[in-house]
């Protein structure tokens, strides 16, 4: 091979080899990351998961509504028991709109229970008291005697709690959230019903964010 051919061979080979080695992601495992996947809580994942989303809200409240309607205190009650909703306690690492859980649970029960259970609106208590006082003072009209106490008392309190556990490793991040709800007898303080739902999620971010 002549000298110029050697020159060419060396230059061309070096250029080709160099360009074919433009691997900026070389040595980076799964550079595109792994999309978040939902798993069964009892399933072992390669990492542990992420936040509370609308599908979790739907599945959890659906499950709780079905579960509550099956208990004897509700299903066999002579008169529909009155239930007060107490705010959910968030013990996870995810800031959430806590009311949305109870709102959906209440609407599910109201729509599916067909009068088996009634809810007491304590959110409007201040407005209701003000209206009652106006009636008592004769400032507004009343269709019934406003001096008779008619605000219903609670037979049960329904509340919930969200607990979470986070794992972060070089393989990604996972979050496990335990949704627990309970119905407490207002007279005896006994918990007459309790149920849980568990969701675990995991994912790995794109290498550009790691």
Footprint of other proteins (CB under 8 A): 1-5, 7-16, 18-28, 31-36, 50-51, 89-96, 98, 166, 168-170, 173, 203-210
Using the structure block, give the residue that is written with the tokens 């407490």. Answer: 184
24 vs 141 by CB, closer to other proteins: 24
Site of tokens 């994942």: 45
Output the smallest distance, CB 191 to other proteins, in A. 18
Half-sphere exposure of 122 (CA within 13 A, CB side): 14
Alpha helices in 70-207 (DSSP H): 72-75, 99-113, 125-136
Shortest Å, Cβ 111 to other proteins: 28
Give whichever of 12 and 70 is closer to other proteins, judged by the CB atom. 12
The residue to which tokens 């009650």 are assigned? 77
Instruction: Give the count of beta carbons closer than 10 Å to the beta carbon of residue 108.
Output: 19
Please say which residue, 50 or 61, places its beta carbon nearer to other proteins. Answer: 50
Three-state secondary-structure class, residue 167: strand
Closest CB 71 distance from other proteins, rounded Å: 27
CB of 142 to other proteins, least distance (A): 30
DSSP 44: P
| CB-based contacts of 95, cutoff 8 Å, min separation 6 | none
Residue closer to other proteins by CB (options 106, 201) is 201
Nearer to other proteins, 99 or 121 (CB): 99
- Nearest approach in angstroms of CB 10 to other proteins is 7
């Amino acid at each position: 091979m002549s000298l110029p051919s050697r020159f060419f061979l060396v230059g061309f080979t070096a250029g080709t080899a160099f360009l074919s080695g433009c691997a900026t992601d070389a040595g980076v495992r799964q550079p595109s990351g792994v999309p978040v996947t939902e798993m069964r809580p009892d399933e072992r994942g390669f990492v542990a998961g992420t936040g509370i989303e609308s599908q979790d809200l739907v599945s959890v409240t659906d499950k709780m509504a079905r579960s509550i309607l099956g208990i004897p205190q509700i299903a066999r009650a002579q008169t529909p028991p009155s239930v007060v909703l107490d705010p959910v306690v968030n013990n996870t690492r995810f800031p959430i709109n806590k009311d949305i859980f109870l709102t959906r649970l209440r609407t599910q029960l109201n729509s599916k229970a067909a009068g088996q259970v009634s809810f007491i609106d304590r959110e409007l208590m201040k407005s209701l008291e003000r209206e009652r006082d106006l009636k008592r003072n004769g400032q507004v009209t009343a269709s019934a005697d406003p001096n008779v106490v008619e605000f219903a008392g609670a037979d049960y309190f329904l509340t919930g709690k969200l607990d979470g556990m986070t794992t972060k490793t070089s393989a990604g991040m996972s979050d496990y959230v335990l949704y627990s709800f309970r119905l407490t007898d207002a007279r005896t303080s006994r918990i007459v019903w309790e149920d849980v739902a568990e969701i675990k999620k995991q994912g790995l971010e794109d290498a550009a964010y790691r």
